[in-house]
A and B are shown apart, each in its own frame.
Chain A
Amino acid sequence: MTRLSRVLLAIASVLLLGAFLFPLWRIDLVAPQYPEGLGMLIRVNTVTGIKPNDLANINGLNHYIGMKPIEPTAIPELHIMPWIVAGLAAFGLLGAALGARKLLYGWLGGFVTLAVVGLIDFWRWEYDYGHNIDFEHAIIKVPGMTYQPPLIGTKQLLNFTAASWPALGTVCLGIAFAFGVAALLVARRRGANVKRASVAMAVAVAACAPQGPRAIADQGKSCDYCRMTISDERFGGQLITRKGKVYAFDAIECLASYYLQNAAAGDGSSIWVADFANPGRWVEAKNALFVRNDAHQSPMGLNLVALRHDADKAAAGQAQGTTLRWQEVLALVESHGRSSDPAEAAGVAR
């Protein structure tokens, strides 16, 4: 093994320890009565609530439908998993120290095996959790209904929407694997493979980068501020939180109003507006130009559209309008005060 390869394997092994620091998986449950959500974090050695009493509250609710309570100490995998991950890390460090390529192969093979077995086992646990219902004592029985949470993605379980996603611990494991693959690519010689190794790592890093904007108009989505259905995306905007939750808006003023009313929205979230001149393209609000032109009726009545370039003004038929920046739009919406409130705004649109 080359020196670089050994270093990469050592880094990969140390990264595995991220599984001890961060949760591996996260299941969020949201219901009408639980707008703030309940949730659990699956860690390498235990299951905890996202908020201090979430697990107890989930167990309390589950007794209605006959689900078994989650008792982390009774789940055998949680006793074994820390040893497996720690063992793999030790094995990798040993491989890096000895520089033996066979150990690197073994590390990678072991990693893949454990990942596959782990995911299958997790799915089986979820299956058992969702299907092993005590119907004799269940209070609410829905024929044919089971309550298995999704492995990845979202699913409706009675009044709860369950969302299950890998968490930071799993991201660490993924990056560790990418480093391991990189170590394999440069194991024999330097040169060209270094480039491939960097690509592998870049891919790993890119996978962790925050999500960009998505189309919002085509799914019958409604505006997260005024609740009207988003039919025309060209006036729209979206706010993507640090955690990747997307809030969609049918108009720039709805986005601005939401932003102004939710101070926390500014915390690490990215704000996007539709490029009026180029349908389907999105511009970050701070980089966009806003044009106010009463000849053009936006859904909420302030008649704002966003553009990427000044040159697009004419193309969008907006040559006459005044140009604003994002901060000025916020000030305009704020000074417009409550008249951009949902009810009145809806009245205007009617």
Chain B
Amino acid sequence: MSPLQLNRRVVVGAVGAVAIAGLVFACQATRSKPINLAAGDAASRVYIAPGQYDEFYSFLSGGFSGQVAVYGIPSGRLLKVIPVFSQNPENGYGYNDESKEMLQTTFGSIPWDDSHHPELSQTDGVPDGRWLFINANNTPRVARIDLTRFETDEILQIPNAAGGHASPFTTPNTKYIVSATRFSVPIGAKRDVPIASYKENFKGTLSFITADQPGKMDIAFQILMPGYNYDLGHAGKGPSEGWFFFTSYNSEGAYTKLEVNASQNDKDYVAAVNYKKAEECVASGKAKTMQADYDHNYTDPKSRIATTEKKTSVKLLDPRDCEGVVYYLPTPKSPHGVDVDPTGEYIVAGGKLATVIPVHSFTKLAKAIEAKQFDSTIDGIPVLKYDAILAGEVQKPGLGPLHTEFDGKGNAYTSMFISSEVVKWKLGTWEVLDRMPVYYSVGHIMIPGGDSKKPWGKYLVAMNKITKDRYLPTGPEMAQSAQLIDISGDKMKMLLDFPTIGEPHYAQALPATLIKDKSVKFHSLAENTNPHAVRAESETNISRTGKTVHVEMVAIRSHFAPDNIEGVQVGDTVKFHVTNVEQDWDILHGFAVLGANTSELILQPGETRTLTWVPKDEGIYPFYCTDFCSALHQEMQGYIRVSPAGSNVPLAANISPKAKAQMAGAK
């Protein structure tokens, strides 16, 4: 170690000591300026020179924005916002004819949801960069994002569910992703019941969703559970592969003032699900087929048109009919996160209100099941003895332990919501090794691959709910925030704060090399199967079917064809089917028309999108390109003339003579 590094440690230590003193002092006096805890060389550690690439892609959920934001790590630069469960006027997702079916549910079209947990697909328990999944919390759904295009391709609604929070965590080869119910509700035909009949009528479900084939997401089976609140989950791996663990709270069965009434019991449960056993029971006909309506939306990658498939039934498995499918692991005080270490042996539960972090041992769990060391049975689910399954407890970790990630070097990192810190501790000895204050009220933390078999344990991202004085003030509402911490050494080093979109609820990350070279540069026009696609100006067209006028247009630098349209009447619906015929990377065009009651279109190269417009009054309406495409972008415009209903102005457009001849031939 060079004297310089030694000095740096001393300085960091001293700053840390001053910071802690500062926190104590802060109880008596308000601070005037946020504390700077950054490591001395932090600037150079996060500096990515212009034109250079970040080492990792990170995917932070947008929480109540319903989106996913992609940031480069370590720079914290925002690379893209991917709309998933929310309409996005910025690019027309959920507005244009092609994509709006993505937001279809049995409740009708829903323009918003709360996206919580991104989850990368895995091969052998390691993120593989094929897809990113994310859940909708409010109206339970799961979505698949394709990582060659960074676009949402598929959304599956979850029936018999309310509050899709424990989702969409994956099994080690992405055979299944799961969705468990944060709210228990009555399930089945009889749903109009008194709220006070909670204990009798309310149930939870754990859904296992087949996820390894695009376009074929489906619910393999659901497991009917006692009416607790199922909060988070993680799959077993290695020795515990074939098991899935879900936390639950509210074993009290409270239905009002949960903050008090659901916090009474000393212990709630982690549900350990043997999903291989569940598969056997389902295969041998022990699950009941139940009527349930839910929607499955899928965007065909060739036409890029989303369609909705109505599904009508689901297989529901009652643990009473399938012995050994679920066990309850008693766990202190309303556990929130449940995280399985890279070896698959340790199951760490974060009890929000607990004073310790309990760690269960899978080996002990298997032995306890074999020896039938049960305390009791709840609805056919044996409750194992706490002492028989416990590997150890981390003592005095801090206040409000929530979530744990792993660095692959035998260490675990747990977020502490109340004491607002990240705590590093050692697996096996359970000793606390280091603490790093974070600003403020950290929820999830994320290490690239930190929930997998092979973490890339170089950085940790803490996702904080409250930022207060961390940035220049922007009124009563401040952006939420991520903080980047270097975990490559013995001691954590704070490197960077960066504000985020929405709520950065949870995140995933992986080395950029796993996906960057697979990124699609444009959509092949030759493979565009949208029925209204036109591949050249000579194919453009205009036609009328009753009161609907179809305009099949081309967008190319720097004009639309056609760009003069007449013969439209008040009362008509105009469908502008615009194809961007560019076959060049990142050459996008936009399309907007005056008075349209919808968003613009943004057209990726080679793609066709449709804007529906109902003109309300006669006149001349301009349309123009909204995405600065070229030196003559400002000239990329056109006019459409709207005549009164019944007018004798013929339908016409200034399309090429060849297209006109083709149209004449077609008539």
Chain A interface (Cβ < 8 Å from any Cβ of B): 36, 52-53, 56-57, 60-61, 64, 139-140, 261, 337-339, 341-344
Contacts and interface: CB of A to CB of B under 8 A. Distances in A.
19 contacts: A36-B585, A52-B583, A53-B522, A57-B584, A60-B556, A60-B582, A60-B584, A61-B557, A139-B558, A140-B631, A337-B45, A338-B44, A339-B41, A341-B47, A341-B49, A341-B52, A343-B47, A343-B49, A344-B44
Given A57-B583, A57-B584, A338 B47 contact: yes
A261 B48 CA distance: 12
Nearest to B630: A64
10 closest A-B pairs by CB? A53-B583, A342-B49, A57-B584, A338-B44, A344-B44, A341-B49, A343-B49, A339-B44, A56-B583, A343-B47
Interface in B29-53: 41, 44-45, 47, 49, 52
A341 B583 contact: no
Interface string B547-576: 000000000111000000000000000000
Interface string B564-607: 00000000000000000011110000000000000000000000
B49 A64 contact: no
Interface residues of B, number: 16
Contacts of B558: 139
Contacts of A60: 556-557, 582, 584
B557 A139 contact: no
B632 interface: yes
A68 B390 CA distance: 78
Given A57-B583, A60-B582, A261-B52, A341 B44 contact: yes
Contacts of B557: 60-61
Contacts of A64: 631-632
Nearest to B525: A53
A344 B47 contact: yes
A338 B45 contact: yes
Nearest to A346: B49
Interface string B82-125: 00000000000000000000000000000000000000000000
Q: Which of B45, B52, B584 has the most A CB atoms < 10 Å from its CB?
A: B584
Contacts of A261: 52
Tell me what chain A mostly uses at the interface: helix, strand, loop, or mixed.
Answer: helix
Nearest to A263: B513
Interface of B: 41, 44-45, 47, 49, 52, 522, 556-558, 582-585, 631-632
Contacts of B41: 339
Contacts of A57: 582-584
A140 B631 CA distance: 10
Contacts of A52: 583
B17 to A, nearest CB: 27
Nearest to A53: B583
B535 to A, nearest CB: 11
Given A139-B558, A338-B44, A339-B41, 19 more contacts: A36-B585, A53-B522, A53-B583, A56-B583, A57-B582, A57-B583, A57-B584, A60-B584, A64-B631, A140-B631, A337-B45, A338-B45, A338-B47, A341-B44, A341-B47, A341-B52, A342-B49, A343-B47, A344-B47
Contacts of A36: 585
Contacts of A53: 522, 583-584
A341 to B, nearest CB: 6
B556 A139 contact: no
Contact of A139 (B52, B582, B584, B632): B632
A141 to B, nearest CB: 13
A36 B583 CA distance: 14
Nearest to A56: B583
B72 to A, nearest CB: 14
Contacts of A140: 631
Nearest to B606: A53
B261 to A, nearest CB: 52
A52 B631 CA distance: 24
A51 to B, nearest CB: 9
Q: Which of A60, A64, A139, A339 has the most B CB atoms < 10 Å from its CB?
A: A60
A199 B631 CA distance: 55
Contacts of B584: 53, 57, 60
A323 B52 CA distance: 31
Contacts of A338: 44-45, 47
A333 to B, nearest CB: 14
B636 to A, nearest CB: 12
A226 to B, nearest CB: 9
Contacts of B556: 60
A296 B582 CA distance: 54
A36 B52 CA distance: 15
Contacts of A341: 44, 47, 49, 52
A266 to B, nearest CB: 14
A56 B536 CA distance: 12
Contacts of A337: 45
Contacts of A339: 41, 44
Contacts of A342: 49
Q: Which of A53, A342, A344 has the most B CB atoms < 10 Å from its CB?
A: A53
Contacts of B585: 36
Q: Which of A57, A338, A344 has the most B CB atoms < 10 Å from its CB?
A: A338
A106 B585 CA distance: 50
A344 B45 CA distance: 11
A36 B585 CA distance: 10
Contacts of B52: 261, 341
A339 to B, nearest CB: 6
Nearest to A342: B49
A36 B586 CA distance: 12
